[in-house]
Amino acid sequence: MEKLIGTIVSAIEDKKGKNIVSLDLSGFDGAICSAFVVCNADSTTQVAAIADGIEEKVQQELGKKVWRVEGQQSAVWIAMDYVDVVVHIFQTELREFYRLEELWADAPLTRHEYEE
């Protein structure tokens, strides 16, 4: 799972995604997956590009295909399901509105910072 998260974070960084965090949900009964990776971007074009970049990089480097993708039509919030890891790519305003990290405030959170 760590390798998958690392590859996803790297793909997000490649497309200049912002405020990348991962939440460890493995300690929660009833959680739909073991981890969330969350990021945001300033435009629907960039949200879509990040999703495409993740799908491509994970396939190339790990040989894993995304199980399900939701939100590609509007590209304001795309969710990508890799079974153990679910990726949420928000347009910035929507991330601020939904505050997904606050819903899982008890989950261990890792911030993934990179140098521009």
**Token reading at 48:** 């879509």
**Over residues 69-81, mean pLDDT:** 95
Which pLDDT tens digit goes with each residue over 50-62?
999 999 999 999 9
What pLDDT does residue 14 have? 97
- Whether residue 116 is predicted with pLDDT greater than 70 in this model: the reply is no
Which pLDDT tens digit goes with each residue over 10-38?
999 999 999 999 999 999 888 889 999 99
Please, which residues have CB within 8 angstroms of residue 75's CB and are 6 or more apart in sequence?
44, 45, 47, 48, 51, 91
What pLDDT does residue 46 have? 97
CA distance 32 to 38: 15
State which CATH number among 3.30.460.10, 3.20.20.140, 2.40.160.10, 3.30.230.70 fits the domain covering 2-112: 3.30.460.10
Average pLDDT over the chain, rounded to an integer: 94
- Whether residue 6 is predicted with pLDDT greater than 70 in this model: the reply is yes
All structural domains of the chain with their residue ranges:
2-112
Q: What is the pTM of this model?
A: 0.94
Name which of 75-79, 97-101, 108-112 the model is least confident about.
Answer: 97-101
